[in-house]
Amino acid sequence: GAGVSQSPSNKVTEKGKDVELRCDPISGHTALYWYRQRLGQGLEFLIYFQGNSAPDKSGLPSDRFSAERTGESVSTLTIQRTQQEDSAVYLCASSLRASAYEQYFGPGTRLTVT
Amino acid sequence: GNSVTQMEGPVTLSEEAFLTINCTYTATGYPSLFWYVQYPGEGLQLLLKATKADDKGSNKGFEATYRKETTSFHLEKGSVQVSDSAVYFCALRGGGADGLTFGKGTHLIIQP
């Protein structure tokens, strides 16, 4: 299919290690979003990319979190020195353009920090 | 800042019952409002949306009306089916934010 894909689907890591999560948006979608969903909570916005503009990083919870996107393609979310409170499902979404209302979500990466 | 509050679940109903899932919001300006659904084992999907006051979004028999005076966007369906069992999320976009602000989700269970 041509939906948003994410990898890995599951990741277990030890506290203090770095992890990288990958998102492949729908081809042609210029806007890309990362969200986090902790157990029993709603989705929290993390970061937003639109084309070649500077990303909106206002939702990143700490400087251990960073993300990159190459052009209008793949994005990686990196968490350095992981903590147990980072355990969550990390969701990526893309939309055709910044003002488009529908965001298409990927299946998520479940991160467990032990 | 923006926030969304929705009724906590799980909500358990019998097939053909009437469904209401309450959602209220706080936002500056005039946000757009959404309901997303996550079926078991699947990703989040947009169910319906409304972009201005008094708009009614509808899809798959579900409806929600954007009520600015009560800052609400309650989800309703007249006759639920077992296949409607899922987690439903109310969300908004507005107040200058780029991302969506979500409620915590309501787990709906429909029994035959």
CA distance B32 to B25: 11
pLDDT confidence of residue A40: 80
pLDDT confidence of residue A1: 54
Contacts of B29 (CB under 8 A, 6+ apart): B94, B95, B96
Q: For B69-101, what is each residue's pLDDT tens digit?
A: 999 999 999 999 999 999 999 999 987 778 899
Edge to edge, the sheet with strand A75-79 lists A5-7, A19-24, A75-79, A65-69
Interchain contact, A42 vs B4, CB within 8 Å: yes
Q: Nearest to residue A104, comparing CAs of A34, A26, A6?
A: A26
The chain B residue lying nearest A108, using CA atoms, is B43
- Residue A89: CB atoms within 10 Å: 17
CA distance B89 to B44: 9
Beta-bridge partner residues of A67: A77
pLDDT classification of A7: cutoffs 50, 70, 90: very high
Q: What is the mean pLDDT of chain A?
A: 92
pLDDT confidence of residue A70: 84
Residues in chain A within 8 Å Cβ distance of B34:
101
pLDDT classification of B9: cutoffs 50, 70, 90: confident
Any idea which residue has 């210029």 for tokens? A30
Residues in chain B within 8 Å Cβ distance of A33:
98-100
